[in-house]
A and B are shown apart, each in its own frame.
Chain A
Amino acid sequence: DTEVTQTPKHLVMGMTNKKSLKCEQHMGHRAMYWYKQKAKKPPELMFVYSYEKLSINESVPSRFSPECPNSSLLNLHLHALQPEDSALYLCASSNSGSRETQYFGPGTRLLVL
């Protein structure tokens, strides 16, 4: 199984809402990532979890809150987002280390009204 799954596929939320994005992989990967991608731009790294611990936070605003409940799951909690946060949010996983290929999920298309 070389699949990373993400739910939901699409999400529309208001600026006062609280929502969560979910990511799951069963490849035994110990590194998981959240990326944000705007149209016609490359993905921008947000967070990296390594062995279920947050190892990198790329200066992401606190309205984005990651969580790694176990080695297979990665959540991204959203609260008080702004319209400019509308984007495709991608989850990825890899064996630990930069030498390994990152496997991406299909993404969640988020629209903030």
Chain B
Amino acid sequence: KNQVEQSPQSLIILEGKNCTLQCNYTVSPFSNLRWYKQDTGRGPVSLTIMTFSENTKSNGRYTATLDADTKQSSLHITASQLSDSASYICVASSGGSYIPTFGRGTSLIVHP
């Protein structure tokens, strides 16, 4: 059964600090892994997408890593801003399937 597990479930940090969110996935055959940011009551916005051959991808202050051997991914946020407060969702897809597997998300709160 395909599964995506994220940790921590929630995280509170001070503005300007860095943080790292974790994602473990069991998806076979693996195709790609994406990180989305979702503000409350809004649709998810794509941050990064990585295939098995990529191990790092950056998008501004967001850097995602992928270890296809251990089936782990992380999302690192540098110099956090208040606007980073949101839910961060890890999504893994298997080859040839339209049905992605969503993690439950990490709720990030950035305090001033």
Please give the residue numbers on chain A whose beta carbons come within 8 Å of chain B beta carbons, in ascending order: 4, 6, 31, 33, 40-43, 45, 48, 50, 55-56, 58, 88, 90, 92, 97-99, 101-107, 109
Contacts and interface: CB of A to CB of B under 8 A. Distances in A.
How many B residues touch the partner, as a band?
20 to 34
A50 B41 CA distance: 27
A42 B44 CA distance: 10
A11 to B, nearest CB: 14
Max chain B C-beta neighbours (<10 A), residue from A42, A50, A97, A103? A42
B95 interface: yes
Given A88-B41, A98-B31, A107-B41, A31 B98 contact: yes
A106 B31 CA distance: 26
Max chain B C-beta neighbours (<10 A), residue from A6, A55, A102, A106? A102
A-B residue pairs, 3 tightest by C-beta? A104-B43, A42-B102, A98-B93
B46 A102 contact: yes
Contacts of A6: 43
A99 B46 contact: no
Contacts of A55: 98
Contact of B98 (A43, A50, A104, A107): A50
Interface of B: 31-32, 34, 36, 41-46, 49, 51, 89, 93-100, 102-105, 107
B43 A45 contact: no
Contact of B103 (A42, A45, A88): A42
Given A42-B102, A90-B44, 5 more contacts: A4-B43, A43-B102, A98-B96, A99-B95, A106-B43
Contacts of A107: 41-43
Contacts of B43: 4, 6, 90, 92, 104-107
Nearest to B40: A39
Contacts of A56: 98-99
Contacts of B89: 42
B31 A42 contact: no
